[in-house]
Amino acid sequence: MEAKVSEILQRYEPEQSSIIAILQDIQEAYGYLPREILAQVAEELNIPLSRVLSLATFFRAFSLKPKGKHPIHVCMGTACHVRGAQLVLEKFERELGIKTGETSEDLSFSLDAVRCVGCCGLAPVVMAGEEVHGKVSQMKVPGIIKKYKK
Amino acid sequence: MEDKLTSTRHRLHLMVCAGTACVSNRSFEIKEALEREIKKQGLAEEVLVVTTGCNGFCERGPLLVVQPGNIFYQQLTLKDIPHLVEEHFLKGRPVEKLMYKPPEGKKPIPVLNEIDFFKKQVLIALRNRGLIDPEKIEDYIARDGYQALVKALTQMTPEEIIEEIKKSGLRGRGGAGFPTGLKWEFVRLASTSNGGLKFVVCNGDEGDPGAFMDRSILEADPHSVIEGMVIGAKAIGAQQGYVYIRNEYPLALKRLTLALQEAREYGLLGENILGTGFNFDIKVARGAGAFVCGEETALLASIEGRLGEPRPRPPYPAQRGLYGHPTCINNVETWANVPVIVSRGADWFSKIGTKTSKGTKVFSLVGKINNTGLVEVPMGITLREIIFEIGGGIPGGKEFKAVQTGGPSGGCIPKEKLDLPIDYESLTEAGSMMGSGGMVVMDEDTCMVDVAKYFLSFTQDESCGKCTPCREGTKAMLDILDRITKGEGTEEDLQLLEDLAVSIKETALCGLGKTAPNPVLTTLRYFRDEYLTHIRDKKCPAHVCRDLNVYTIDEKTCLEVGHGCDVCRRNCVSEAIIGEKNQPHRIVQEKCIKCGVCYDVCKFGAVKVE
Ligand SMILES: Cc1cc2nc3c(=O)[nH]c(=O)nc-3n(C[C@H](O)[C@H](O)[C@H](O)COP(=O)(O)O)c2cc1C
Ligand code: SF4
Ligand code: SF4
Ligand code: FES
Ligand code: FES
């Protein structure tokens, strides 16, 4: 087993209630949930792989596919929606050449919609990795992408 | 109040806001710059820089409040700092140009509590906001923190605690408004055949997309929630607690984890709390991004490591909750109110508010409003006071149209009801609900059909899919709304929407499905005309429904006023605009994707939308 995985498993009691926290740590460490690692986790906690997979698809925080190096999250919460977030999201789709939920071929960017990141006062909000960009308009989108390219 | 803090050796305390919004506006860099300048001016012994949680006025961030004196500085940039430190903190001359200026008036307002946004607020749940460093338990204690816990554990019986909470009239702040004391009593009296265990849980899932009060409390004052939970645990006889935190809230998670550790070190949590022999500890569970997990039975399933799907109630969690044991679930804000009620007494608390709804409520005031942010107001205040006095009205001279409360489960309230004194009952009567405290203001440029569609697509997307009315019914409603916003709707569709809404409300399993039709029903009730304009005239009066928009360029204005500036053509991603510099421009409709960029970039008003 990879050292990273066993280190994560050691943080928790080996029981079913730990599964979501473990998946979260794996998602954080790898940027997604690699299938072979899920199989190891299932075995370690002694639960069927099918259950682990159903949890991994039920919760939005998990992804079974790799994400881009710079994950872009466009907030589609109410405050952002009424201030034009849909147009911002579509601008990102056009500029990056990918649809919402997809990752660019060179794995540099992925694009997702999220529901409220809690900075509604700055709507519309875009998160690039951990960084929050507030009061984003369509016009600001190319500049944000440029900042992370290369 | 402020005296306690400033009684230490420092002459001035600079409270730098480190809530999420201010942090994203680089408040930590501001903090470092302040510390550097203060050192440079030789003031390190006299002036202390402190980081606090969210002050609520995020739009004006990054913020700094100077204590004593409550002097409010806003929208600071790094280059303001040297001047500010020299003028105010060295020479004692506050800097006017960094203060808040009201929209109409010219004179800046130096003192925080004289600013309209703060003036009418009454702080109970947010009592420590801006006044303490959330990462220092000493700050919380210095503001009488954990006094209520001492009182509850050493001077009160569990029955007396419950009686006090019942008498206060406190009701749940997470949605339904169930009386908190009564819920505690149910859990206390619930039989514990299997093992005698009981649990308390704090619901910090905050699913309403557009609301952030729970986040703010956890980030700004985590100990207020911990103290409330320990008191609750004592009252109902629980040994273990959980705080369930929404996945998107890393800062809240960090501060709460730290606070739990500090509380244990101080003997306020864990074994033998305050030497009274009472044992109780709290674990943190992270949500994983599913709205339905805010529903109590789904939340408990997800703590147990199972799929976050609701189950039918009864049995309620108070009877059979976590791992089958009686469990008391309350919302973050509900817990944060508890210590104040215990220390100041039920009589004091119940004097605030209306007949049926006591105390205050925190609202997240967002959308088309001048002062966006978090506000805590007494129950019974009118919508007009919140929106026009605290919120400063609608930006850009636009007209107010509606306010949406209660998130995806709530509804839109029109301007005829602005003088409604708000409490649980009055909002429900208006077709909306209190919900967790989201308040989204809409102006003439907001399309009510689009808003209804937005919320329905949210609930449709978040439906766990377990029951058919919610899964299929909301889908059918969404299809109809989609047709209407494309100009393909019929008048019969409105009846169909209403019929579907009623049947979903009656048959869905959990609150998500039962309330999902509310946004559609209230907009149909108050804004039927707008639906009809979409259907009959195939027009969206607010120009939001894009399929109905047509962009054109007024060639005369383009040539004579804008001199064919060409900016629109260069910005159009779809190459839909033709024209040369200094010549009139024109839009080729077949190519236009209706993104509206040309409308935004034309400085001469030559681009029209219909
Ligand atoms: C779909 C759905 C989502 C909910 N989301 C939340 C939430 O995000 N936060 C919350 O405190 N309560 C939420 N609730 C209400 C909880 O089920 C529960 O009633 C509440 O946490 C009880 O606490 P209170 O009495 O202090 O309000 C939700 C309910 C439903 C049906
Ligand atoms: S109402 Fe919706 S969310 Fe609730 S149980 Fe049914 S399908 Fe799931
Ligand atoms: S609306 Fe967009 S696509 Fe259409 S002409 Fe204007 S800029 Fe081009
Ligand atoms: S709605 Fe976008 S940050 Fe809250
Ligand atoms: S984060 Fe600073 S005021 Fe809200």
B143-193: pLDDT as tens digits:
999 999 999 999 999 999 999 999 999 999 998 899 999 999 999 999 876
Query: For residue B254, how far is its CA from the centre of ligand 5 (angstroms)?
Result: 17
Q: What is the mean pLDDT of residues B478-490?
A: 95
pLDDT at B106: 74
B379 Cα distance to chain centroid: 17
Give the rounded percent of residues in chain A with a pLDDT score beyond 90: 63
- List, as ranges, residues 13-42 from A with C-beta within 8 Å of B: 15-21, 23-24
Asked if B412 and B403 touch (Cβ cutoff 8 Å), the reply is: yes
Which ligand 5 atom sits nearest the alpha carbon of residue B373? 4
Average of per-residue pLDDT across B377-403: 94
Q: How big is chain A by its Cα radius of gyration, in Å?
A: 17
Question: Given this model, what pLDDT does residue A131 score?
Answer: 85
Q: Where are the alpha helices (DSSP H) in A46-135?
A: 49-58, 78-82, 85-96
The CA angle B538-B544-B547, to the nearest 5 degrees, is 50
Find out whether the peptide bond into B315 is cis, omega within 30 degrees of 0. yes
Q: How would you class B571 by CB atoms within 10 Å of its CB: exposed for 0-12, middle for 13-18, buried for 19 or more? A: middle
| The residue type at B608 | K
Q: Is the pLDDT of residue B105 over 80?
A: no
Question: What pLDDT shows up at residue B27?
Answer: 93
- Give residues with Cβ within 8 angstroms of B297, minimum separation 6: B310, B311, B313, B317, B510
- List alpha helices for B97-221, DSSP H: 116-119, 137-142, 147-155, 158-168, 180-189, 213-220
pLDDT of residue A132: 87
Secondary structure (DSSP) of B392-438: ---GGGPPEEEEEESGGGSEEEEGGGTTPBPSHHHHHHTT---TTSE
Please compute the mean of the pLDDT values over residues A89-115 and round it to a whole number. 93
CA pair distance B41, A116, nearest whole angstrom? 42
**What confidence category does residue B59 fall into, taking pLDDT thresholds of 50, 70 and 90?**
confident
Q: What is the pLDDT of residue A1?
A: 67
The phi and psi torsions of B599 (rounded to 5 degrees) equal -60, -40
Q: How far apart are CA B278 and CA B477, in angstroms?
A: 53
User: Domains, chain B, ranges and CATH?
Assistant: 2-115 (3.40.30.10), 137-349 (3.40.50.11540), 360-443 (3.10.20.600), 448-537 (1.20.1440.230), 550-609 (3.30.70.20)
Q: Would the pLDDT of B5 be above 70?
A: no
If you average pLDDT over every residue of chain A, what do you get? 90
What is the rounded distance in angstroms from the CA atom of residue B538 to the CA atom of residue B534? Answer: 5
Which residues are CB-neighbours of A107 under 8 A, at least 6 positions away? A66, A68, A69
- For chain B, give the percent of residues with pLDDT over 90: 81
Instruction: Give CA–CA dist A134/A128, Å, rounded.
Output: 11
Substitution candidate for ligand 2 out of B292, B456, B472 with most atoms within 8 A of CB:
B292
Q: Which atom of ligand 5 is nearest to the CA of B374?
A: 4
Please indicate whether residue B228 or residue B287 has the higher confidence score (pLDDT): B228
Res. A106: pLDDT tops 70: yes
User: Tokens 């619930």 — which residue?
Assistant: B190
Cα(B173) to centroid(ligand 1), Å: 8
Cα-flanking dihedrals φ and ψ of residue B36, to 5°?
-60, -50
Q: Is A53 on the interface with B (CB under 8 A)?
A: no
Q: Where are the domains of chain A?
A: 3-58, 70-149
Do B137 and B223 form a contact (C-beta atoms < 8 A)?
Answer: yes
| Residue with the larger pLDDT of the pair A74 and B610 | A74
Q: Do B212 and A120 touch (CB under 8 A)?
A: yes
Cα–Cα distance between B496 and B500 in angstroms, integer?
A: 6
Q: Which ligand 4 atom is at minimum distance from the Cα of A124?
A: 2
CA of B527 to the centre of ligand 3 (A): 30
pLDDT of residue B8 exceeding 90, the answer is no
Mean pLDDT, chain B, whole residue set: 93
A131-133 and A126-128 strand pairing: antiparallel
What's the pLDDT at B194?
65
Arithmetic mean of pLDDT, B62-67: 94
Which residue owns the Cα nearest ligand 3 atom 8? Answer: B572
3-state class of B36 per DSSP?
helix
Beta bridge partners of B52: B17
CA distance B284 to B246: 11
Element (H, E) at B81: helix B81-84
Neighbours of A115 (CB within 10 A): 22
Q: What is the pLDDT, as a whole number, of residue B196? A: 82
- Is the CB of B20 less than 8 angstroms away from the CB of A132? yes
Partners of B48 in the β-ladder = B13
CATH number of A70-149: 3.40.30.10
Mean per-residue pLDDT for B37-49? 92
Alpha-carbon distance B55 to B63, whole Å? 8
pLDDT at B357 over 80: yes
Query: The tokens of B476 are what?
Result: 């059918």
**For residue range B505-534, what is the model confidence (pLDDT) as tens digits?**
999 988 899 999 999 999 999 999 999 999
Q: Which residues of B451-472 are buried (b: 16+ CB within 10 A; e: fewer)?
A: bbbbbbbbbbebbbebbebbee
Reduce the secondary structure of B245-286 to three states and give it as a string. Answer: ECCCCHHHHHHHHHHHHHHHHCCCCEEEECCCCEEEEEEEEE
Is residue B480 pLDDT above 70, yes or no? yes
Q: Strand locations in chain A, DSSP E?
A: 70-75, 109-114, 126-128, 131-133
The DSSP-derived string for B200-212 is: EEEEE---STT--
* Six token digits for residue B465: 């899919």
The residue-averaged pLDDT of B325-350 equals 97
Q: How many Å lie between the centroid of ligand 1 and the Cα of residue B73?
A: 36
pLDDT single digits (tens) B432-457: 999 889 999 999 999 999 999 999 99
B63 lines ligand 5 (CB under 6 A): yes
Contacts A114 to B, Cβ<8 Å:
248
| Burial of B609 (C-beta count, 10 Å sphere; 0-12/13-18/19+) | middle
ipTM of this predicted structure? 0.89
What pLDDT, in 10s, does the model give residues B206-241?
988 888 899 999 999 999 999 999 999 999 999 999
Residue B1 confidence (pLDDT) above 80: no
- Pick the ligand that lies closest to the CA of residue B546: 3
